[in-house]
Amino acid sequence: MKRKGSSPTMKDVAREAGVALGTVSKVFNGIPVGEEYKRRVEEAARQLGYQVNNYARALKTNRTRTAALILPNTVNPFFALLAGDVCKALARRGYRMLLALSDADPDAEQQCVRMVEQNKVDGIIGLTYNPALEINESVPFVSIDRYFGPAVPCVASDNFGGGQMAARKLMELGCERLLFFRIGSDVPGEADKRGDGFQAACQQAGIGCSTLLLRDEDGYEPFRAFLREHLRDGKLDFDGIFCNTDRLAYHVCRMLQGMGVNVPGDAQVIGFDGVRRFGSEALYCSTIAQPVTQIAETAVDILLQEDRGHLPSLICLPVSYIGDGTTKG
């Protein structure tokens, strides 16, 4: 590693270019000066390796080229993917990313917002659990997975379509007795539409669908009890199970294995998310995969859009089915 000495200042650039300090300032702030002056200042800045002080520029232009991302954590691999893709989408557009983690706690989220507002960010992208979040209206905000109303753009997967896709795929693969398992936050969100889509597709096909809907606090054990209750002579009452996350599908497959129910022979299981072992190795189960990169790119595009008068209130991006081991196809 090389440690460089102190950076050149605007005065150094002015001296090198042979112009007045005010001329350098004008060039750096985009105020018109003669072409020849502009060329000399830019040449001198390049030669000296002058870095424009973004803090000083931010005060003048009211732009910091910094956006914040608020997430519950980076441990959940879906959030980890999202953090990486938002960071890269911002970097491609010349923006830096402040990361703030809230642990899905409403008060912590409000503190995150306060904290990033203090830094005069150009915008905030948030995957939040606080329906009453207060955000300064001068700060552009894009929500992921949670719809706040027409004035706040929300970007999400096509959760409803994904739920339908899971039901139709299970039926196509021969399932006749369907079950939907859900665990999650009790704050309403776009992800709730996974179950709505699944049940709508079942109803449309004229077949029944059992459900068990739990909150995170309930843990995974009630699913095991439910499965045990529906196990008669080693045979499960259901032959197709849709879980609202890959993580739940992973638990359910292990529970079934422990009960002697063969997956996918006796029961086929589809999860949702499309997360992979070690972030990029094998999937955990057959799944409805979220388009994480497109979610990130779309959220950043909307965040940085100049015309704030005509923004969509909800954008749902297409998901895709990937069969991998826990279904027959």
Contact set with its own copies (CB under 8 A): 1-7, 51-56, 58-59, 64, 66, 73-77, 80-81, 83-84, 87-88, 91, 96-101, 114-120, 131-138, 141, 143, 148-149, 151-152, 246-247, 250, 275, 277-281, 284
Shortest CB 292 distance to its own copies, Å: 10
Between 14 and 135, whose beta carbon lies closer to its own copies?
A: 135
Between 167 and 292, whose beta carbon lies closer to its own copies?
A: 292
Shortest CB 66 distance to its own copies, Å: 7
SS3 9: coil
Between 232 and 280, whose beta carbon lies closer to its own copies?
A: 280
Shortest CB 94 distance to its own copies, Å: 9
Locus of tokens 């779309």: 298
Buried b / exposed e over 271-289, threshold 16 CB at 10 Å, is bbbbbbeeeeeebbbbbbb
Contact 327, 264 (CB under 8 A): yes
Between 3 and 232, whose beta carbon lies closer to its own copies?
A: 3
Between 64 and 157, whose beta carbon lies closer to its own copies?
A: 64
Shortest CB 5 distance to its own copies, Å: 6
Would you state the structure tokens that stand for residue 184, as one six-digit string? 């999650």
Cα of 3 vs its chain's centroid, Å:
37
Q: How open is the CA angle 293-294-298, to the nearest 5 degrees?
A: 120
Shortest CB 310 distance to its own copies, Å: 17
DSSP H or E run through 271: strand 268-273
Number of neighbouring beta carbons within 10 Å of residue 137: 8
